[in-house]
Structure 1
Amino acid sequence: MSLRSQLALAVGKSSQWFLKTFTKGGSSLPGKLALKIDPDILDMIAKDYEVVVVTGTNGKTLTTALTVNILKQAYDNVLTNTTGANMLQGIVSTFLSAKTHQKGKKFAVLEIDEASLAKVTSYFKPSLFLFTNIFRDQMDRYGEIYTTYQMILDGAAKAPEAVILANGDLPIFNSKETSNPRVYYGFDHEPDEEVTPHSNTDGLLCPKCHHILQYKMITYSNQGKYYCPHCGFKRPELTYQLTKLKGMDHTYSEFEIDGESYRIEVGGLYNVYNALAATAVGSYYQVSPEKIRQGLSSDQKVFGRQEVIHVGDKECTLVLVKNPVGLNQVIDMVALAPQPFQLVHLLNANYADGIDVSWIWDGDYEKFAHMAIPHVIAGGERSEEIALRLKVAGLEGNHFKEIKEIPKVVEAIKELPSGRVFILATYTAVLQLRKELAAQGYIDGGM
Structure 2
Amino acid sequence: MSHIALLLAKAAGWFSRALGRGGGTTLPGMILLKLRPHTLHEMAQEFEEIIVISATNGKTTTARMVSHATHESGIPFVANTSGANLPSGIATALLQRKPDEKYGIFEVDEAALPEVIPQLEPTVLVLMNLFRDQLDRYGELETTIQKWKEMIESLPETTKLIINADDPALAYLGSLHQNVQFFGLELTDYGSETISHAADSLHCQKCDSPLNFQQVTIGHLGHWECQNCGFHRPHPSFTGDKINLKGLDGSEFIAASKTDSLEIRLPLAGIHNVYNALAAYSTCSTIGISATKIQRGLWTVSAAFGRNEIINFDGVELMIMLAKNPAGANQNLKTLLLEEENIHLAILLNDRTADGKDVSWIWDVDYEMIIDRIASLTISGDRAYDLALRFHYAGFPATSMHVAPSIQELLNHLKSSINIGGRAIVLPTYTSMLDLRSGLNKIGATHSFWEEK
Corresponding residue of 1:90: 89
Shift of 1:248: 2.6
**Is the partner of 2:249 in helix, strand or coil?**
coil
The residue type paired with residue 80 of structure 1 is A
Q: Distance in 1 between matches of 2:78 and 2:53?
A: 13
Shift of 1:109: 0.9
Tell me which of 419, 423, 429 is aligned to 1:420.
423
TM-score for both structures, normalised by structure 1 = 0.92
Corresponding residue of 2:31: 33
Structure 1, unpaired ranges of 5+: none
Shift of 1:77: 1.4
String of CA shifts for 1:53-107, please: whole Å, max 9, x gaps: 111111111011011111222242111101222222221221110112x17xx21
Distance 1:15 1:358, change over 3 A: closer
Corresponding residue of 2:404: 403
Corresponding residue of 1:291: 293
Shift of 1:179: 4.7
**Is the partner of 1:402 in helix, strand or coil?**
strand
**Is the partner of 2:78 in helix, strand or coil?**
strand
Corresponding residue of 1:8: 5
Q: What is the CA RMSD across the aligned residues, in angstroms?
A: 2.3
The residue type paired with residue 216 of structure 2 is I
Alignment of 1:117-156 (within 5 A): 117-156=113-152
Corresponding residue of 2:68: 69
Q: Distance in 1 between matches of 2:18 and 2:352?
A: 31
**Is the partner of 1:86 in helix, strand or coil?**
coil
Structure 2, unpaired ranges of 5+: none
Q: Distance in 2 between matches of 1:16 and 1:135?
A: 33
Matched, 1:431 2:434: yes
Distance 1:82 1:174, change over 3 A: same
Q: Distance in 2 between matches of 1:287 and 1:144?
A: 37
Q: Which deviates further from its counterpart, 27-36 or 325-334? A: 27-36
Shift of 1:11: 4.2
User: Do the aligned residues in 1 keep the contact of 2:192 with 2:217 (CA within 8 Å)?
Assistant: no
**Identity across matched positions, percent:** 33
Q: Which deviates further from its counterpart, 264-273 or 387-396? A: 387-396
Q: Distance in 2 between matches of 1:395 and 1:297?
A: 38
Shift of 1:180: 6.0
Corresponding residue of 2:165: 168
Corresponding residue of 2:54: 55
The residue type paired with residue 410 of structure 1 is L
Q: Which deviates further from its counterpart, 32-41 or 221-230? A: 32-41
User: Do the aligned residues in 2 keep the contact of 1:195 with 1:214 (CA within 8 Å)?
Assistant: no
Matched, 1:185 2:186: no
String of CA shifts for 1:281-340, please: whole Å, max 9, x gaps: 011012111110111012422110111112223211111101111111000111122413
Corresponding residue of 2:393: 392
Q: Distance in 2 between matches of 1:31 and 1:313?
A: 39
Matched, 1:440 2:429: no
The residue type paired with residue 441 of structure 1 is G
Shift of 1:274: 0.5
Corresponding residue of 1:374: 375
Distance 1:245 1:409, change over 3 A: same
**Is the partner of 1:121 in helix, strand or coil?**
helix
Matched, 1:273 2:270: no
Q: Distance in 2 between matches of 1:190 and 1:83?
A: 34
Distance 1:200 1:438, change over 3 A: closer
The residue type paired with residue 366 of structure 2 is D
Shift of 1:25: 2.6
Shift of 1:187: 0.8
String of CA shifts for 1:180-211, please: whole Å, max 9, x gaps: 632110012459x9934245532211222222
Corresponding residue of 1:359: 361
Shift of 1:417: 2.4
User: Do the aligned residues in 2 keep the contact of 1:374 with 1:399 (CA within 8 Å)?
Assistant: no
Corresponding residue of 2:230: 232
Q: Distance in 2 between matches of 1:9 and 1:208?
A: 47
**Is the partner of 1:263 in helix, strand or coil?**
strand
